[in-house]
Amino acid sequence: MANHKSSIKRIRQIKTRSLRNRYGAKTMRNAVKTLRGTSDKAEAETLYPKVCSMLDRLAKKNVIHKNKAGNLKSKLARHVHTLA
């Protein structure tokens, strides 16, 4: 157990941040999975900007790497473009 007040506070902060990061990452994975599973072009075109925005926000907060966000956005754009 931590002995200093600052380390006790740090533990509380880390716990809060890790919960928030886990929630954001899981939400992102679900959104990407939903968009990939969509076969309707109109629905995919409305979902795509929301998912891209979410990816950019998570990359900005260092929950995911910026290159991972770029790769996912690229693959999703290709998927939306190929829908008939």
SS3 1: coil
Residue 46, CA distances (Å) to 20, 38, 40, 51, 72 in order: 26, 11, 10, 9, 17
Q: How confident is the model at residue 82 (pLDDT cuts 50, 70, 90)?
A: very high
Average pLDDT, the chain: 95
Whether 1 has a pLDDT exceeding 80, the answer reads no
**Band (26; pLDDT cuts 50, 70, 90):** very high
Helix residue ranges, H only, 38-84: 41-60, 66-82
